[in-house]
Chain A
């Protein structure tokens, strides 16, 4: 391996997250011979963030004061900033904690000596800094990582997950109820919505190659809203999903409404919808891979 100074370089800033995005990046081993990796505490011993960075990849949400400090410091010197994964884009899974009753439990339990102070909630990184490219996914696939590093403009994913799934949508197979979340036995090649699964692939951004739906698990929307919905408020996404189910199923409205409010969907469906206090504008779809 020749790591020379003429190679393009990048750094990975890990905030509060699960390291799944980093693991995905390690799976994309094509970059190893083409890029110089400057900083990534998961695999490199370095005491500090480097002084010059071409591309800064940020994973994880801003959960404590130290995350915020490191984020501001690294972003200030990076030429290009890429926010990767649900946590960096929307606060992610830890955002499920942004409920009053949960926060109370937190506060009772979470005083520790000499550790970075927790913020009241997990924040997306663009609350603090400017982002040049968003790469949603939980985690994004190695293929998407490579596209983000090299030439995002040349990467043409399917508009929605359905375009990459390949299961047939049937006009005459209309379930009357949603199946229990995991109870139904999947009939291969037939659309999961036709089978009564709460699959949100019809509104979810493509590019993942329909990893989950092809083997038979409903899409939970981890890539966030498709281009058509991304600059709209979160209600638009709900409406779009409901229209699909009204057209393809006979599931009663109330049942659908209740199911759409489930925590596992809210993990992902609210990506790009965190316009808290109106100080964050809708993200420009041209900045999203």
Chain B
């Protein structure tokens, strides 16, 4: 028996893929999360009100999602509803994170796979589909920085935001600052579209070279976004079956009735399933759920996607293309929302601390994120973080089996395996810091 180990890079956190083969027959393929800090243990005893400052530190990439999910869980627990203005500002905050995350995943993590380089920093004179003087690295960083700027505008801090608080947000967005942001978004939209068009073309070239988008079987999909929009400050989870039919919809409070959560003996990341069925979350799940998007340019991409790749689409490398659609959507949507007045009006309601159990849901870039807190005497008695990457864990493993079987045979191991393993894992954009906490 041979054990092949692939340390992962260009993903968030420390993980590896381990494939066991015997005489060219694949025995197993595993994805192991190797680090662990223990948030769900050490938050026990914390005053519940402090969670929105502590839990963003679960992950510097997904901090905004944790911040908002935490605030929502406490609002559920204390029995209060934030004013509509606060919901809008939180949505903008989450859009900022979607821009930042999808730009990072597309251009920093997976673009190098399509260009045959190790990194967009390490290569010289990268030429992005012949767009002459475009400097790919700087353009990509500009797009993701627009997301960070949006988080700073709506969230105060730029990585671990502070502006969402229990009951609302601490302040509105001044017109003057919103106008500066609108200008940035105006500038960045064509840059993002240019990069994405290039990415789409490079992906087609990649498919022609390897002969597949990833030939895994159809599966179930989990997201908390809706048919006709991508509201990220979400309320309800939904499950699609492999034919695209909605077979379940539920509030975060009821997640245990639908999702089975399990620990792994070989990884610090847990994994989930829908009643034992493999599910997928993240961009492809949301795109499969969306009939249309309510921003013009992104909707053109969405319809083109559905026409070219089917509805629902199942191939693994399509996750990456879906991220581009969402990047365009988030830029356009943030622009629409910032045109409204977000300066005047109530941003916050009062609350008093009480005991109980509360659930907070948001659609994070990697899928639905739920925080569950049990509070006793004002202190956290128990906390659960239902992490989007955990929903994809079984799907990742199955996809790795497909890849292993494709490139390992009794005749030998095709050297494409190393690259293919990286491409498959990155398509799911797993976040190890979140998955292990």
- Whether B257 sits at the interface, judged by CB under 8 Å, is no
The answer to whether residues A118 and B36 also contact, given A19-B12, A26-B144 and a CB cut-off of 8 A, is yes
Specify which chain B residues have a CB less than 8 angstroms from the CB of A42 in the assembled complex. Answer: 9-12
- Whether B420 sits at the interface, judged by CB under 8 Å, is no
For residue B6, which residue of chain A has the nearest CB? A47
B148 and A44 contacting across the interface, CB-CB below 8 Å: no
Report the minimum CB–CB distance from B424 to chain A (whole Å). Answer: 14
Specify which chain A residues have a CB less than 8 angstroms from the CB of B46 in the assembled complex. Answer: 262-264
B120 and A105 contacting across the interface, CB-CB below 8 Å: no
For residue B147, which residue of chain A has the nearest CB? A27
Specify which chain B residues have a CB less than 8 angstroms from the CB of A64 in the assembled complex. Answer: 34-36
- Whether B32 sits at the interface, judged by CB under 8 Å, is yes
- Whether A247 sits at the interface, judged by CB under 8 Å, is no
B163 and A3 contacting across the interface, CB-CB below 8 Å: no
B41 and A43 contacting across the interface, CB-CB below 8 Å: no
Specify which chain A residues have a CB less than 8 angstroms from the CB of B44 in the assembled complex. Answer: 101-102, 105
Specify which chain B residues have a CB less than 8 angstroms from the CB of A116 in the assembled complex. Answer: 34-35
A182 and B37 contacting across the interface, CB-CB below 8 Å: no
The answer to whether residues A182 and B41 also contact, given A29-B138, A115-B266, A211-B156 and a CB cut-off of 8 A, is no
Complexed CA–CA distance, A16 and B60 (Å): 12
Q: Which of A2, A105, A180 contacts B41 (CB 8 A)?
A: A105
Q: Which of A20, A96, A181 contacts B63 (CB 8 A)?
A: A20
For residue A180, which residue of chain B has the nearest CB? B49
Complexed CA–CA distance, A97 and B40 (Å): 10
Specify which chain A residues have a CB less than 8 angstroms from the CB of B11 in the assembled complex. Answer: 42
- The number of residues on chain A lying at the interface, defined by a beta carbon within 8 Å of a beta carbon of chain B, is 68
A185 and B348 contacting across the interface, CB-CB below 8 Å: yes
Complexed CA–CA distance, A18 and B142 (Å): 22
Report the minimum CB–CB distance from B267 to chain A (whole Å). Answer: 7
The answer to whether residues A46 and B266 also contact, given A26-B108, A182-B165, A217-B163 and a CB cut-off of 8 A, is no
A18 and B145 contacting across the interface, CB-CB below 8 Å: no
Complexed CA–CA distance, A51 and B182 (Å): 45
A19 and B59 contacting across the interface, CB-CB below 8 Å: yes
- B39-58 vs A, Cβ < 8 Å mask (1 yes, 0 no): 10111111101101110011
Report the minimum CB–CB distance from B370 to chain A (whole Å). Answer: 19
Within 8 A of B (CB), among A231-289: 262-264, 267
Complexed CA–CA distance, A18 and B160 (Å): 11
B266 and A102 contacting across the interface, CB-CB below 8 Å: no
Specify which chain A residues have a CB less than 8 angstroms from the CB of B39 in the assembled complex. Answer: 93
The answer to whether residues A112 and B38 also contact, given A27-B148, A46-B118 and a CB cut-off of 8 A, is no
Report the minimum CB–CB distance from A124 to chain B (whole Å). Answer: 15
B118 and A44 contacting across the interface, CB-CB below 8 Å: yes
A99 and B119 contacting across the interface, CB-CB below 8 Å: no
Report the minimum CB–CB distance from B390 to chain A (whole Å). Answer: 15
A115 and B138 contacting across the interface, CB-CB below 8 Å: no
Within 8 A of B (CB), among A90-132: 92-94, 96-97, 99, 101-102, 105-106, 109-110, 112-116, 118, 122
Complexed CA–CA distance, A101 and B381 (Å): 13
A141 and B158 contacting across the interface, CB-CB below 8 Å: yes
Q: Which of A14, A41, A101, A139 contacts B160 (CB 8 A)?
A: A139
Q: Which of B122-130, B300-308, B328-336 contacts A (4 or more CB under 8 A)?
A: B122-130
B162 and A19 contacting across the interface, CB-CB below 8 Å: no
For residue A31, which residue of chain B has the nearest CB? B121
The answer to whether residues A211 and B158 also contact, given A17-B433, A183-B351, A216-B170 and a CB cut-off of 8 A, is yes
- Whether B368 sits at the interface, judged by CB under 8 Å, is no
Specify which chain B residues have a CB less than 8 angstroms from the CB of A18 in the assembled complex. Answer: 57-61, 63, 433
Pick the most buried of A106, A114, A267: most chain B CB atoms within 10 A of its CB. Answer: A114
- Whether A186 sits at the interface, judged by CB under 8 Å, is yes
Complexed CA–CA distance, A116 and B266 (Å): 11
- Whether B132 sits at the interface, judged by CB under 8 Å, is no
Specify which chain B residues have a CB less than 8 angstroms from the CB of A212 in the assembled complex. Answer: 156-157, 162
A112 and B266 contacting across the interface, CB-CB below 8 Å: yes
Specify which chain A residues have a CB less than 8 angstroms from the CB of B120 in the assembled complex. Answer: 43
A63 and B36 contacting across the interface, CB-CB below 8 Å: yes
For residue B422, which residue of chain A has the nearest CB? A45
B35 and A63 contacting across the interface, CB-CB below 8 Å: yes
Specify which chain A residues have a CB less than 8 angstroms from the CB of B41 in the assembled complex. Answer: 97, 102, 105-106, 109
B268 and A32 contacting across the interface, CB-CB below 8 Å: no
Report the minimum CB–CB distance from B414 to chain A (whole Å). Answer: 18
- Whether A37 sits at the interface, judged by CB under 8 Å, is yes
Complexed CA–CA distance, A114 and B3 (Å): 13
Specify which chain B residues have a CB less than 8 angstroms from the CB of A46 in the assembled complex. Answer: 9, 118
Specify which chain A residues have a CB less than 8 angstroms from the CB of B144 in the assembled complex. Answer: 26-27
Specify which chain A residues have a CB less than 8 angstroms from the CB of B195 in the assembled complex. Answer: none
Report the minimum CB–CB distance from A220 to chain B (whole Å). Answer: 6
A181 and B47 contacting across the interface, CB-CB below 8 Å: yes
Q: Which of A41, A97, A102, A264 contacts B53 (CB 8 A)?
A: A264
List the 6 closest A-B pairs by CB distance, nearest first. Answer: A20-B60, A44-B119, A94-B37, A217-B162, A97-B42, A96-B42
Interface of A toward B, CB cutoff 8 Å: 1-3, 14, 16-24, 26-27, 29, 32-33, 37, 41-47, 63-64, 66, 92-94, 96-97, 99, 101-102, 105-106, 109-110, 112-116, 118, 122, 138-139, 141, 180-183, 185-186, 188, 211-212, 215-217, 220, 262-264, 267
